[in-house]
Amino acid sequence: MSDNDAPLIRVSNAWKSYDGGRVPVLRGVSLQVRAGETVALWGSSGSGKSTLLHLLGGLDLPDQGQVSVCGMDPGGDRARLELRRRHLGFVFQLHNLIADLNVEENVRIPALAVNRPRDETDRRVAALLGDLGLAHRRRHRVQDLSGGERQRAAICRALCNAPRVLLADEPTGSLDEETAATVFALLQGLARREGIALVIATHERRFAEACDRMLGLRHGVLHDD
pLDDT at residue 179, as a whole number: 82
149-160 pLDDT, tens digit per residue, is 998 899 999 999
Q: 188 pLDDT exceeds 80?
A: yes
Domain ranges in the chain are: 3-224
Average pLDDT over residues 162-172: 91
Q: Give mean pLDDT, residues 115-136.
A: 93
Per-residue model confidence (pLDDT) at position 14: 96
Q: What is the pLDDT of residue 170?
A: 87
Mean pLDDT of 37-53: 90
Q: How far apart, in whole angstroms, are the C-alpha atoms of residue 152 and residue 100?
A: 18
What is the structure's pLDDT at 96? 84
Predicted local confidence at residue 3, as pLDDT? 55
Reported as a pLDDT band with limits 50, 70 and 90, residue 4 is low
Pairwise CA distance, residues 216 & 75, whole Å: 24
pTM > 0.85:
yes
Residue-wise DSSP of 62-98: -SEEEEEETTB-TTSHHHHHHIIIIIEEEE-SS----
- The CATH number for 3-224, chosen from 3.40.366.10, 3.40.50.300, 3.20.20.10, 2.60.120.560, is 3.40.50.300
Beta strands in the chain (DSSP E): 9-18, 23-33, 38-42, 64-69, 88-91, 165-169, 197-202, 213-218, 221-224
8 A C-beta contact, residue 164 and residue 35: yes
199-212 residue pLDDT tens: 999 888 889 999 99
Does the structure show a pLDDT above 80 at 10?
A: yes
